């Protein structure tokens, strides 16, 4: 029989969950991964272009290994700090903005002027950070598409299938813009199955699909008729024959699965619990994911997950998939009479949705704190206002921008 929450001390379990999560984040350190990948490699008059949430750290590490003639970094505003010897540009994420469009033009310019090899450093977030709309589609139209996709419940592969068809640089466009330069790409994966075509919308690999596939996906998501007219017009045009992509080299240097393995190593021992790693990526709607998580915790132990869930927005509140997943786990746990647990869900980049939180860290007393604060959990979830719900319970997970991104990690500890 479960003990009443008043007799449980969650602090040690919460600290343990946090430490295990941060071990996963630490494993995704982009600097050490880049340095290791570039050791012993030689380049001719190299140009370095880094794009994504980990772009600055990746570029800094590359510059320690390679003397480049030009270094261009495009990253989200939180990570856009000056870097000696490099041009650093901040851009909007998750919704593209005008600074991102200017950065995309700058990338195209640098590629066109490259006189030797190009080293591309790609990490999660690059898709939104580098909007280069095709002719006839405005930045505003592309941002509108992105907002519709974010609210649709589409997974990252489907989102990037569509984004690629609306961009000059995605889906191999980066390689074509590099002309005769040979491109070596180092990829820090934020996609759970490490599909290189989906990471930052695959700037240096072949596209996920064709225009017809994008149209079919948009209709499946039931947002085709809500798209800007310019986007529908472009996607219905005949597919051009661009020929094969230029030869290139692509190296995967970090991934979600590696971070889950690091969490497992960190979780070994302590609190007298066995460690269990969920064998598949945690994907799909957060409501379903909450059931999957709690179905695993039928006995005491530490349960580890990695992946990227989705939320179909019905309300206009503030939050993100990790915050909503945390609250849905807390709600379902209460319905099942489970109180002797803590659960953490967080984005490895330190940012969950358009918020300053990485996710949530809940326990068996979360619902009591919400009730004491006068917050109705069902109302919070109906409005997709997980941020303010977790804030009321003092259960927001805030770690700041990490400079890396390998999707999401989850830790559940049950006594």
Give 124 or 333, the one with higher predicted confidence.
333
Rg (CA), the chain: 22
CATH (one of 3.40.50.720, 3.40.50.10180, 3.40.190.10, 2.40.37.10) for 40-254: 3.40.50.10180
The total of other beta-carbon atoms located within 10 Å of residue 187's CB is 30
State the pLDDT confidence band at 2, using cuts at 50, 70 and 90. very low
pTM of the model: 0.77
Confidence check: pLDDT of 90 > 90:
yes
Same fold for the domain at 5-26+257-414 and the one at 40-254? no
> What pLDDT, on a 0 to 100 scale, did the predictor assign at position 160?
87
Confidence check: pLDDT of 52 > 70:
yes
Q: Sign of torsion, CA 218 221 223 224?
A: positive
Q: Do the Cβ atoms of 404 and 47 come closer than 8 Å?
A: no
Confidence check: pLDDT of 268 > 90:
no
Confidence check: pLDDT of 274 > 50:
yes
The DSSP result for 131-160, as a single string, is --BPTT--HHHHHHHHHHHHHHT--HHHHH
For the chain, the structural domain boundaries read 5-26+257-414, 40-254
Report the distance separating Cα 166 and Cα 235, nearest Å. 8
Confidence check: pLDDT of 289 > 50:
yes
The domain covering 5-26+257-414 belongs, at the CATH homologous superfamily level, to MOFRL domain (3.40.1480.10)
Share of the chain above pLDDT 70, in %: 97
> What pLDDT, on a 0 to 100 scale, did the predictor assign at position 153?
85
The beta strands (E) that lie in 102-209 are given as: 118-123, 183-188
The string of pLDDT tens digits covering residues 355-387 is 999 999 999 999 999 999 999 999 999 999 999
Confidence check: pLDDT of 3 > 90:
no
Lowest mean pLDDT among 5-14, 105-114, 131-140, 298-307: 5-14
3-state helix, strand, coil in the chain (%, to 5): 40, 20, 40
Confidence check: pLDDT of 92 > 90:
yes
Share of the chain above pLDDT 90, in %: 83
Confidence check: pLDDT of 186 > 80:
yes
β-strand 87-91 against 118-123: which pairing, if any? unpaired
- Looking at residues 245-267, what average pLDDT do you find? 94
Which 3 state secondary structure label does DSSP give 334?
helix
The beta strands (E) that lie in 237-374 are given as: 248-254, 275-277, 282-285, 301-310, 341-347, 359-363
State the pLDDT confidence band at 190, using cuts at 50, 70 and 90. confident
Confidence check: pLDDT of 161 > 60:
yes
Confidence check: pLDDT of 1 > 50:
no
């Amino acid at each position: 029989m479960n003990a009443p929450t008043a007799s449980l001390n969650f602090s040690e379990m919460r600290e343990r969950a946090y430490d295990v999560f941060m071990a996963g984040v630490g494993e995704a350190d982009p600097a050490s991964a880049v340095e290791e990948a570039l050791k012993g490699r030689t380049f001719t008059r190299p140009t370095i272009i880094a794009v994504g949430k980990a772009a600055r750290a990746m570029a800094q590490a590359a510059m320690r290994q390679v003397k480049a003639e030009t270094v261009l970094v495009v990253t989200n505003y939180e990570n856009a700090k000056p870097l000696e010897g490099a041009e650093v540009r901040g851009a909007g994420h998750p919704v593209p903005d005008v600074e991102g469009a200017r950065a995309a033009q700058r990338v195209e310019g640098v590629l066109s002027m490259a006189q030797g090899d190009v080293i591309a450093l790609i990490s999660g977030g690059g898709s939104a950070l580098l909007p280069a709309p095709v002719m006839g589609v405005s930045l505003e139209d592309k941002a509108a598409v992105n907002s519709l996709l974010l609210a649709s419940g589409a997974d990252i592969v489907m989102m990037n299938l569509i984004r690629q068809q609306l961009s000059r640089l995605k889906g191999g466009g980066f390689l074509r813009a590099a002309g005769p330069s040979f491109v070596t790409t180092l990829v820090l994966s934020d996609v759970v199955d490490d599909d290189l075509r989906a990471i930052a919308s695959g700037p240096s690999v072949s596209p996920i699909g064709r225009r017809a596939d994008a149209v079919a996906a948009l209709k499946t998501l039931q947002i085709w008729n809500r798209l800007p007219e310019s986007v529908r017009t472009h996607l219905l045009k005949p597919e051009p024959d661009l020929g094969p992509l230029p030869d290139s080299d692509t190296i995967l240097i970090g991934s979600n699965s590696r971070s889950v393995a690091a969490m497992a190593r960190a979780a070994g021992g302590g609190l007298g619990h066995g460690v269990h790693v969920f064998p598949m990526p945690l994907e799909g709607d957060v409501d379903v994911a909450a059931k999957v998580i709690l179905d695993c915790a039928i006995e005491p132990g530490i349960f580890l997950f990695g992946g990227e869930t989705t939320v179909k927005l019905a309300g206009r509140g503030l939050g993100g998939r990790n915050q909503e997943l945390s609250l849905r786990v807390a709600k379902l746990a209460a319905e099942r009479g489970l109180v002797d647990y803590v659960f953490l869900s967080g984005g490895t980049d330190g940012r969950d949705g358009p918020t300053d939180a990485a996710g949530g860290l809940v326990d068996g007393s979360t619902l009591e704190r919400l009730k004491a604060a006068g917050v109705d959990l069902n109302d919070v979830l109906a409005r997709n206002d997980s941020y303010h719900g977790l804030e009321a319970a003092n259960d927001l997970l805030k770690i700041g921008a990490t400079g890396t991104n390998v999707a999401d990690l989850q830790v559940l500890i049950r006594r």
